Amino acid sequence: MPKPDHLVVLINPASAKGAGARAGQRAVAALRAAGVEVTDVVGVDAADGEARAAKALAENPQAALVVVGGDGMVSAGLRLLTGTGRALGIIPAGTGNDTARSLGIPLGDPEAAAQIVVAGEPRPIDLGEATVGAGTDHEVVRRFTTVMACGLDSKVNDRANRMSWPRGKRRYDLAMLLELPRFKAPRFRIRLDDRELDAECMLIAIGNGPSYGGGMLICPQARMDDGRFQATVVDRITKRTLLTIFPKVFSGRHLAHPKVNAHHAAEIELHAEGVSCWADGERIGELPVTLRTLPEAQRVFQPRPSS
């Protein structure tokens, strides 16, 4: 497939303590060196960047979009491309980069990631769609590529985002230490296609892709091309048991524990009181939430599949 003629490149200069700006400069240089016309966009903040990128896309109706940053920037790209049919390129430069990791896009090498785009191989992936506040004035619909999670995970995210210190990953580690002693497993009502469950759960993760948080394989059986989610449900367990299970998340071996269950479904509903949900590192809102898979909803530049 021929390389794209024109790209709008949206750069998050704040991602990974400024690594996004440097990665963006390197990627843009590599794309231009390959003969691609590039309109690079850097906003003063996230909203400004999205607005500038939307304007550039409107002015260049044949251009594809490339985002430089982490999974939050991928979410921004999805918002910009909804309903357009245009392809998305990813230059991973965030702290998590789980979308890129799942698709085999090189991490820590903006030039190599740019070459994936130059090779011109956009292939479709599934997306997840989460809806909270359905039918109300506060309805929020969010598309995501990786994992939507709620329970202890969302409590930790809520607390971390209220904290101004420390910065980076240590903020989340501290938030976990503060939240875990006081956490009580909420009672969830869960619908998985035609099945219903009612249980007290520590955490529920709905995976369109296998990992979140920078490589934690919370939903190791999830694929971005099979038209269904993997739901990982962690039943109520002691805090000590949770701490023994947690390190196994990086290898996916947590599924071997009898209190950790994997389910597969194309449509899922979660109900619980006072529980928020997060996807691709961004807060969506309070439960209840309805999730559905959107098969082959977005074309993404990916490495060529091995023969």
Query: Pick from 73, 93, 120: which residue ends a domain?
Result: 120
At 175, is the pLDDT very low, low, confident or very high (cuts 50, 70, 90)? confident
Average model confidence (pLDDT) across the chain: 93
Question: Within this chain, do residues 218 and 190 fall inside the same structural domain, yes or no?
Answer: yes
* pLDDT of 16 above 70: no
Query: Pick from 98, 120, 142: which residue ends a domain?
Result: 120
Question: Within this chain, do residues 197 and 280 fall inside the same structural domain, yes or no?
Answer: yes
The parent domain of residue 36 ranges over: 6-120
Integer angstrom CA distances of residue 89 from 56, 60, 73, 253? 16, 16, 11, 31
At 168, is the pLDDT very low, low, confident or very high (cuts 50, 70, 90)? low
Name the residue among 71, 138, 136, 159 with its Cα closest to residue 107. 71
For the stretch 18-75, pLDDT in tens is 778 899 999 999 999 999 999 999 988 889 999 999 999 999 999 999 999 999 999 9
Question: Within this chain, do residues 133 and 116 fall inside the same structural domain, yes or no?
Answer: no
Query: Pick from 86, 120, 154: which residue ends a domain?
Result: 120
Q: Determine phi and psi for 122, rounding to 5 degrees.
A: -80, 120
Measured CA to CA, the distance from residue 108 to residue 74 in angstroms comes to 16
Question: Within this chain, do residues 71 and 156 fall inside the same structural domain, yes or no?
Answer: no
What's the mean pLDDT in 234-245?
Answer: 94
**Is position 259 within any domain?**
yes
At 174, is the pLDDT very low, low, confident or very high (cuts 50, 70, 90)? confident
Question: Within this chain, do residues 132 and 277 fall inside the same structural domain, yes or no?
Answer: yes
* pLDDT of 14 above 80: no
> 3-state class of 257 per DSSP?
coil
More confident residue, 141 or 306: 141
**Is position 1 within any domain?**
no
* Residue 305 tokens, joined: 């599949």
Question: Within this chain, do residues 82 and 155 fall inside the same structural domain, yes or no?
Answer: no
Least trusted range by pLDDT, from 43-47, 136-140, 167-171:
167-171
**Is position 305 within any domain?**
no
Only one residue has tokens 């996916």, namely 252
More confident residue, 134 or 170: 134
**Is position 233 within any domain?**
yes
For the stretch 68-109, pLDDT in tens is 999 999 999 999 999 999 999 999 998 889 999 999 999 999
Name the residue among 55, 49, 53 with its Cα closest to residue 15. 49
The CATH number of residue 33's host domain is: 3.40.50.10330
Question: Within this chain, do residues 150 and 192 fall inside the same structural domain, yes or no?
Answer: yes
- Maximum CA pair distance of the chain? 58
Question: Within this chain, do residues 55 and 173 fall inside the same structural domain, yes or no?
Answer: no
CB-based contact 300:103 (threshold 8 Å):
yes
Domain total of the chain = 2
pTM: predicted TM-score of the whole model, two decimal places? 0.92
More confident residue, 172 or 264: 264
**Is position 307 within any domain?**
no
* pLDDT of 115 above 60: yes
For the stretch 260-297, pLDDT in tens is 999 999 999 999 999 999 999 889 999 999 999 999 99
What's the mean pLDDT in 188-204?
Answer: 97
Question: Within this chain, do residues 174 and 278 fall inside the same structural domain, yes or no?
Answer: yes
**Is position 157 within any domain?**
yes
Question: Within this chain, do residues 110 and 154 fall inside the same structural domain, yes or no?
Answer: no
Measured CA to CA, the distance from residue 273 to residue 288 in angstroms comes to 8
The CATH number of residue 216's host domain is: 2.60.200.40
Measured CA to CA, the distance from residue 23 to residue 10 in angstroms comes to 11
Name the residue among 28, 21, 13 with its Cα closest to residue 89. 28
CB-based contact 301:120 (threshold 8 Å):
yes
